[in-house]
Amino acid sequence: MTRSLQAVAYTRPSVLESAAGGHRLGLETSRGATPTGFQDHPRFFTGFLTSPQVAAAALLAVADVAAARYYQQQLLASLDPVVTGNGDRLRFESFSGCGGVYARLDVLEPGLDGGEVGHGTTNVDVNNPLREALSRLGSDDPLHLRVGPDELAVTTLGGPVVEKKVPLPDRWLRGFAEAQVIAAGFDLRAELPAAEAVRFLRSLPRGGGRGASRGAQWVVPTGRVLRPTTRPVPGAVCLPGPERLVALQRVLRHATALRVYGPPAAGAAALASAWEVELPGMRLTLTLSPEAARGFSGEGGVLEALCTDEAAEDAELISVLLAWEPRIDVGALAASSGLTAERVRAALTRLGTSGRVGYDTAEAAYFHRELPYDADRVERHNPRLRSARGLVAAGAVSLDGSLGTVTAEDGHVHRVRDDGGTLSCSCLWWAKYRGGRGPCKHALAVRMVRRGADAGTGGISAPGEQDCTTIDSEPSGTSIDGGA
- Chain Cα centroid distance, residue 187: 17
Q: Max alpha carbon distance in the chain (Å)?
A: 77
The residue that leads in pLDDT, 373 or 264, is 264
Instruction: Taking residues 121-142, report their average pLDDT.
Output: 91
Residue 163 has pLDDT above 70, yes or no: yes
Residue 96 · residue 76 · CB < 8 Å = no
Residue 105: per-residue pLDDT:
98
Q: Closest Cα partner for 71 from 290, 218, 232, 280?
A: 290
Split at pLDDT 50, 70, 90, the class of 439 is: confident
- HSE-CB at 81 with a 13 A cutoff on CA atoms is 29
Residues paired with 422 in a beta bridge: 419
Instruction: Taking residues 454-465, report their average pLDDT.
Output: 35
Residue 236 · residue 200 · CB < 8 Å = no
Residue 225 has pLDDT above 70, yes or no: yes
Comparing 288-292, 309-313, 415-419, the range with the smallest average pLDDT is 309-313
The residue that leads in pLDDT, 130 or 386, is 130
Comparing 140-154, 161-175, 206-220, 320-334, the range with the smallest average pLDDT is 206-220
Residue 187 has pLDDT above 50, yes or no: yes
- HSE-CB at 101 with a 13 A cutoff on CA atoms is 31
Split at pLDDT 50, 70, 90, the class of 117 is: very high
The residue that leads in pLDDT, 86 or 378, is 86
Radius of gyration in angstroms for the set of CA atoms belonging to the chain, rounded to a whole number: 23
- Chain Cα centroid distance, residue 305: 17
Contacts of 201 (CB under 8 A, 6+ apart): 245, 248, 249, 252, 255, 258, 277
Residue 484 has pLDDT above 50, yes or no: no
DSSP-assigned letters across all residues of 363-377: TTEEEE---SS-TTH
- The values of phi and psi at residue 300, to 5°, are 75, 15
Positive or negative, the CA dihedral 175, 176, 178, 184 is positive
Q: What is the Cα–Cα distance from 34 to 9, expressed in whole angstroms?
A: 17
Comparing 28-42, 390-404, 432-446, the range with the smallest average pLDDT is 432-446
Q: What is the Cα–Cα distance from 290 to 241, expressed in whole angstroms?
A: 8
Residue 145 has pLDDT above 90, yes or no: yes
Residue 199: per-residue pLDDT:
95
Which of 268-282, 380-394, 408-422 ranks highest by mean pLDDT? 268-282
Split at pLDDT 50, 70, 90, the class of 461 is: very low
Q: What is the Cα–Cα distance from 298 to 91, expressed in whole angstroms?
A: 26
Residue 144 has pLDDT above 50, yes or no: yes
Comparing 168-172, 256-260, 348-352, the range with the smallest average pLDDT is 168-172
Q: Closest Cα partner for 62 from 33, 91, 23?
A: 91
DSSP-assigned letters across all residues of 205-262: ----STT----EEEEEEETTEEEEESS--TT-EEEESGGGGGGGGGGGGG-SEEEEEE
Q: What is the Cα–Cα distance from 451 to 484, expressed in whole angstroms?
A: 21
Taking the CA atoms of residue 186, residue 175, residue 344 and residue 33 in that order, the dihedral angle to the nearest 10 degrees is 120
Residue 179 · residue 295 · CB < 8 Å = no
Split at pLDDT 50, 70, 90, the class of 375 is: low
Q: What is the Cα–Cα distance from 1 to 68, expressed in whole angstroms?
A: 19
Split at pLDDT 50, 70, 90, the class of 437 is: confident
Split at pLDDT 50, 70, 90, the class of 302 is: low
Residue 453: per-residue pLDDT:
41
Instruction: Taking residues 395-402, report their average pLDDT.
Output: 90
Split at pLDDT 50, 70, 90, the class of 410 is: confident
Residue 458: per-residue pLDDT:
40
Split at pLDDT 50, 70, 90, the class of 178 is: confident
Instruction: Taking residues 262-277, report their average pLDDT.
Output: 90
Residue 75: per-residue pLDDT:
54
- What pLDDT, in 10s, does the model give residues 30-81? 999 999 999 999 999 999 999 999 999 999 999 999 988 887 665 555 678 9
| Angle made by CA atoms 180, 182, 186, in degrees to the nearest 5 | 105
Contacts of 5 (CB under 8 A, 6+ apart): 165, 166, 167, 168, 468, 469, 470
Domains and CATH numbers, the chain: 3-168 (3.10.150), 178-207+214-297 (3.10.150), 303-368 (1.10.10.10), 383-450 (no CATH)
Residue 378: per-residue pLDDT:
60
